[in-house]
Structure 1
Amino acid sequence: MAVEVEIWTDINCPFCYLGKRRFEEALDAFPHRDQVRVVHKSFELDPTLPKDLSAPVTPHIAEKYGISEAQAAANERGLGAQAEAMGLTYQTSGRDFGNSFDMHRLLHFALEQGEQEAMLDALYAANFAAEQALFGDTERLVRVAVDAGFEETAVRAVLDDPNAYADAVRADEAEAARLGARGVPFFVLDRKYGVSGAQPAEVFAQVLEKAWSDHAPELEIVADADACGPDGCALPERN
């Protein structure tokens, strides 16, 4: 038996970056860790952004939430402090944002290769931990994927074909809407329990245990005697 965890995320989302680490902390300590299957799903925070957009994060946050740029910068520093406490690198200034659709297509490509975690970690690191801008630059995206161990020709083939994995991304997003997800990260365990946001590791530990306990335990044979099977019946002992 296994617990399936689906996680909707967006590369633009700092709480997805933090939430992934907190979930991993809980998962690493979970006694049945080897029987948990994790799949990452696509969710664009703003699918209307132009494909080639690369713009500074801080002014964008200030405008979006109606706060000053100083307040937005303070928020970024706060996120950086949270990341540092978990051992994550976080660039608190100079980051960009943009359209993440191609990144989600690459995540579906990586899922087919059995290496989705490697792609996601590379994209998060490129956005949150590196000084160089990430969005709106196909060559930068290719380098990130190749450095993560993916074959360059295959990566370019995906990015050069706007239809490659596009339906898979849109299907994930439609699925999130049906499940009632209004933001990310959004965690769904066995299509029965939902967790919204970058919760503490303790919360993830509790819901993992709850999902696991819902599965029927494996049958334990407490007594065994002569019986019949496909090969016949046990012969009685002769005196």
Structure 2
Amino acid sequence: MRVEIWSDIACPWCYVGKARFEKALAAFPHRDQVEVVHRSFELDPGRAKGDIQPVITMLTKKYGMSEAQAQAGEDNLGTQAAAEGLAYRSRGRDHGSTFDMHRLLHLAKEHGRQGELIQLLYEANFAEERSVFDDGERLVEIATTAGLDPEEVRAVLADPTAYADDVRADEREAAQLGANGVPFFVLDRKYGVSGAQPAEVFTRALSEAWGERSPLQLLDQDGDGGDTCGPDNCAVPSRP
């Protein structure tokens, strides 16, 4: 069975949702027969490579919230992440284009290292102090740690057309499947799960997708979609 996950490195709910999905997958009896493929979805596809700004500034400008509201949302995202055993820096992070990261993820897929690279990129963006947006060598370092050849990585970064068509194809396919936010999980092209759902929702989806054949159906919890980030909005958790 194949599970395709549309996500963006800049999306905090993708970071949390991946952990919740993996918790369900680890307990799934047929986990060794599940192939996980990560697909590209940029939250900010029009952002220029050099357009980098603090996350709080981006949130206030893009979503019309106050700095206090933006910081409260980041703090609560940190709480959500910690509940899944994830580190999360709620202060001092920046935001920029993720296009090069998506291109490198397609390179990593060719070498069977996609899972390793996406996890390292998430950790670098959400948990570490050094930016992933303002230094190409930072991406080379991360990709090398994931098992890729540094010179091949540099060659991809130096050629803006490398894997660009693959990124755009993933994004077109997401739109065709009705995904207007991420994370978005598609299981064997039978079921879709939108958002950073609880692990038990993924458990049910895995079981049903394994045992049945049907057109793609959107599964959620009690009829409400999970928290997502989209081009025009990013869900911010309320104070507990």
Shorter-chain TM-score: what band?
Answer: 0.7 to 0.9
Structure 2: which amino acid aligns with 1:147? T
SS at match of 1:210: helix
1:76 aligns to 2:74 (yes or no)? yes
1:34 aligns to 2:35 (yes or no)? no
* CA-to-aligned-CA distance 1:137-192 (integer Å, 9 cap, x gap): 21221122123332211110111111111111110001001111001000001112
What is the CA distance between 1:195 and its match in structure 2?
0.6
Structure 1 unmatched runs, 5+: 216-239
* CA-to-aligned-CA distance 1:88-116 (integer Å, 9 cap, x gap): 10000011111111100000000000010
> Higher mean Cα deviation, 94-103 or 139-148?
139-148
Structure 2: which amino acid aligns with 1:94? G
Pairs within 5 Å for 1:101-116: 101-116=99-114
Provide the residue aligned with 1:131 in structure 2.
Answer: 129
Provide the residue aligned with 2:65 in structure 1.
Answer: 67
Structure 2 unmatched runs, 5+: 214-240
- Distance in 2 between the 1:64 and 1:157 partners? 33
- Distance in 1 between the 2:61 and 2:107 partners? 34
Structure 1: which amino acid aligns with 2:151? T
Provide the residue aligned with 2:164 in structure 1.
Answer: 166
User: What RMSD over aligned residues (CA atoms) do the two structures have, in Å?
Assistant: 1.0
Give the greater-gyration-radius structure (CA).
1
> Higher mean Cα deviation, 53-62 or 172-181?
53-62
The percentage of aligned residue pairs carrying the same residue is 63
- Distance in 1 between the 2:47 and 2:143 partners? 22
Provide the residue aligned with 1:88 in structure 2.
Answer: 86
What is the CA distance between 1:18 and its match in structure 2?
0.3
- Distance in 1 between the 2:65 and 2:30 partners? 44
TM-score, normalised relative to structure 2: 0.87
What is the CA distance between 1:210 and its match in structure 2?
0.2
TM-score, normalised relative to structure 1: 0.87
Count of aligned pairs between the two proteins: 213
Provide the residue aligned with 1:200 in structure 2.
Answer: 198
CA contact (8 A) 1:9 1:16 kept: yes
- Distance in 1 between the 2:51 and 2:145 partners? 23
> Higher mean Cα deviation, 66-75 or 103-112?
66-75
What is the CA distance between 1:126 and its match in structure 2?
0.8
CA contact (8 A) 1:99 1:136 kept: no
- Distance in 1 between the 2:181 and 2:134 partners? 23
CA contact (8 A) 1:7 1:41 kept: yes
Structure 1: which amino acid aligns with 2:37? V
- Distance in 1 between the 2:191 and 2:146 partners? 32
Provide the residue aligned with 2:139 in structure 1.
Answer: 141
CA contact (8 A) 2:4 2:38 kept: yes
Provide the residue aligned with 1:5 in structure 2.
Answer: 3
Which of 22, 25, 28 is equivalent to 1:24?
22
